[in-house]
Chain A
Amino acid sequence: MNTIAEYTLVTLLLAGGFFTLVGAIGLARLPDFYTRLHGPTKATTVGVGAIVLSSVIYFSSKGEGVDISEVLITVFLFLTAPVSANILAKAAMHIGVSTTKNTQGNTWDQ
Chain B
Amino acid sequence: MLDRLSFPQPYLSLILFVVWQFLSDGMSGASIVMGFVLAWLIPQLTRSFWPDPPAFVRPWKLPFYLALVLYDIVIASISVARLILSGRQPKPVLVSYPLELTHPLAISMLASTISLTPGTVSADVSDDRALLLIHALDAESDEEVINAIRTRYEARLKEMFP
Contact = CB atoms under 8 A, between A and B. Distances in A.
Q: For chain B, which range describes its interface: under 10, 10 to 19, 20 to 34, or 35 or more residues?
A: 35 or more
Contacts of B84: 22, 25-26, 29-30, 39, 43
Main secondary structure of the interface of B (DSSP, over half): mixed
A25 B94 contact: no
Given A29-B84, A41-B115, A90 B124 contact: yes
A85 B115 contact: yes
Contacts of A29: 84
A46 interface: yes
Contacts of A83: 112
A34 B116 contact: no
Contact of B92 (A19, A35, A82, A110): A35
B115 A82 contact: yes
A30 B86 CA distance: 12
B127 interface: yes
B117 to A, nearest CB: 8
Nearest to A90: B124
Interface in A71-110: 71-72, 78-79, 81-83, 85-86, 89-90, 93, 99-100, 102-108, 110
A95 to B, nearest CB: 13
A104 B121 contact: no
B137 A86 contact: no
Given A25-B84, A86-B122, A89-B121, A30 B90 contact: yes
A14 interface: no
Interface of A: 18-19, 22, 25-26, 29-32, 34-35, 37-39, 41-43, 45-46, 67-69, 71-72, 78-79, 81-83, 85-86, 89-90, 93, 99-100, 102-108, 110
Contacts, number: 121
User: Could you tell me the dominant secondary structure of chain A's interface residues?
Assistant: helix
B125 to A, nearest CB: 9
B120 to A, nearest CB: 8
B45 interface: no
B127 A110 contact: yes
Contacts of A102: 89, 91-92
B122 A99 contact: no
In the complex, which of the residues B26, B123, B141 has the most CB atoms of chain A within 10 Å of its own CB atom?
A: B123
Nearest to B139: A104
23 contacts: A19-B77, A30-B90, A34-B94, A35-B135, A37-B121, A38-B121, A38-B137, A42-B73, A45-B73, A45-B116, A46-B77, A72-B19, A83-B112, A85-B121, A86-B111, A86-B115, A86-B122, A89-B124, A100-B89, A103-B93, A108-B124, A108-B133, A110-B124
